[in-house]
Amino acid sequence: MQAMTEQLKADLERLRQTASARLTDASDAASVDELRSTLLGRNGELTTLLKQLGDVPVAERPSIGQLANAVRGEVETAISRRLDELRGADLDRRLADESIDMSAPGRSVRVGHLHPLMMVERDLREIFHAFGFEIYEGPEIETEAMNFEALNIPPDHPARDLWDTLYVAEPGSVEQGLPRPAEDGTILRTHTSPVQVRAMLDLRPPIRIITPGRCFRYEAVDASHNFEFFQVEGLVVDRSTSLADLKGMLEQFARAMYGDGTRTRFRPGYYPFTEPSVAFDVNCLVCGGSGCPACSRTGWMTILGAGMVHPHVLRAGNIDPDEHQGYAFGMGLDRMTVLRYGIPDLRLLMGADLRFLEQFPMGA
């Protein structure tokens, strides 16, 4: 029995002496936690030794228990100290790796910007807002009645051929292999003009709005045409609105858009929904008016069409043409954009080519 007691004391002393060295060899917190389990866990070395206390004489047990408690306390303290050392070293290493040199030049951050179409639309909105116009938007899917008839373009009107319309298919006709236009006359709008009628039905004079939006036509895609494009139209309805008001407003708009030196002119034109109708030109933005291929040697470029709102359109908007009159104008936002930036091919606007789009960084 005495030999058992001495052996147990020797084993406890050995555990005390070797624990420190084993902790020093542990290179990370996980290794220390594993060693804690090996030494002090439920099946650890110290626990195994204490199970031998039953073979020790009763008189010797208090001293062995005291020694075991001392060994446990020293090992636990050593483990805590080693964990603190490792965590401190890890923090120092992370601080060194993640340090920032505040004197170094900053890294450039790539940010997006507005598409050139949206840049021009934003500028148009700001210009017309200064004239008291508000934004009014309508649906891109329209009816033939609103897109044509309400704008004085009945089915047998020759001008109907000017619009290559995209019709929405009758439900189920595509699945049957015989697609046909919807019987209710649903189409993709060919211009934003029907929004003017919607505005007159919704608002009461005086009305002063612009209607930016996307339009669709069945056209071959080339450098100057697309089946999907943007328009901005304007409408003013009041009791004493005149063609002189329209001319003065458009002249101010052209100078705000293209510069104070911009020259303008009115020419007779034709649109079914205005009477009289005019084409509005500015001096060529390429040659300055001297004549070049871009302006067909005329020195002028047409940027929009306009005119006094036809009485039939006023009636379609539930406005009495004997009491109110108005003017309207419309421009292709795509054309305004290519003219403003000298873009040679309209298709570039819809191409999603970053080499092209990154040339317009000011549209933040």
My answer on whether 80 and 120 are in the same domain is no
Residue 110 domain-assigned (yes or no): no
Q: Which tens digits make up the pLDDT trace of 225-259?
A: 888 999 999 999 999 899 999 999 999 999 998 88
Mean pLDDT of 170-190: 87
My answer on whether 283 and 321 are in the same domain is yes
Task: Tell me the HSE value of 42 on the side-chain side, using a 13 A CA sphere.
Answer: 0
**Which has more confidence, 106 or 151?**
151
Give the lowest-confidence range in 75-84, 207-216, 270-279, 335-344.
Answer: 75-84
Work out how many domains the chain is built from and give that number. 2
**Closest C-alpha to 53, from 108, 1, 88, 100:** 1
Residue 108 domain-assigned (yes or no): no
Residue span of the structural domain in which 348 resides: 116-357
My answer on whether 189 and 84 are in the same domain is no
Residue 323 clears pLDDT 70, i.e. is over it: yes
Query: Would you say 40 and 46 are in contact if contact means Cβ atoms under 8 Å apart?
Result: yes
My answer on whether 125 and 45 are in the same domain is no
My answer on whether 128 and 88 are in the same domain is no
My answer on whether 208 and 352 are in the same domain is yes
Mean pLDDT of 95-113: 76
Q: What is the percentage of the chain residues whose pLDDT exceeds 70?
A: 79
Separation in Å, CA 279 to CA 135, 302, 360:
23, 7, 30
How many CB atoms are located within 10 Å of the residue 2 CB? 9
Residue 84 domain-assigned (yes or no): yes
Mean pLDDT of 174-178: 85
d(CA 185, CA 181) in angstroms, rounded, equals 7
My answer on whether 155 and 35 are in the same domain is no
Q: Estimate the crossing angle of helix 29-40 against helix 2-25, to 10 degrees.
A: 170
My answer on whether 240 and 269 are in the same domain is yes
Of 32, 64, 95, the residue that ends a domain is: 95
Query: Would you say 215 and 195 are in contact if contact means Cβ atoms under 8 Å apart?
Result: no
The reported pLDDT for the residue numbered 197 is: 96
User: Mean pLDDT of all residues in the chain?
Assistant: 83
Q: What is the percentage of the chain residues whose pLDDT exceeds 90?
A: 39
Q: Report the alpha-carbon angle 278-217-200, nearest 5.
A: 55
Residue 103 domain-assigned (yes or no): no
Separation in Å, CA 226 to CA 216, 296, 335:
8, 22, 11
**Which has more confidence, 287 or 64?**
287
Of 95, 126, 143, the residue that ends a domain is: 95
How many CB atoms are located within 10 Å of the residue 225 CB? 13
Domain of residue 296, CATH code: 3.30.930.10
Mean pLDDT of 97-125: 83
Residue 247 domain-assigned (yes or no): yes
β-sheet bridge partners, residue 237: 207, 326
My answer on whether 64 and 162 are in the same domain is no
Q: Which tens digits make up the pLDDT trace of 209-219?
A: 999 999 999 88
My answer on whether 177 and 252 are in the same domain is yes
The reported pLDDT for the residue numbered 364 is: 43
pTM for the model stands at 0.67
Residue 195 domain-assigned (yes or no): yes
Q: Which tens digits make up the pLDDT trace of 30-87?
A: 776 776 766 666 666 666 666 666 565 666 667 666 666 676 777 777 777 777 777 7
My answer on whether 310 and 208 are in the same domain is yes
The reported pLDDT for the residue numbered 17 is: 67
Residue 35 domain-assigned (yes or no): yes
Of 61, 95, 129, the residue that ends a domain is: 95
Residue 206 clears pLDDT 90, i.e. is over it: yes
The reported pLDDT for the residue numbered 43 is: 63
**Which has more confidence, 297 or 242?**
242
Residue 232 domain-assigned (yes or no): yes
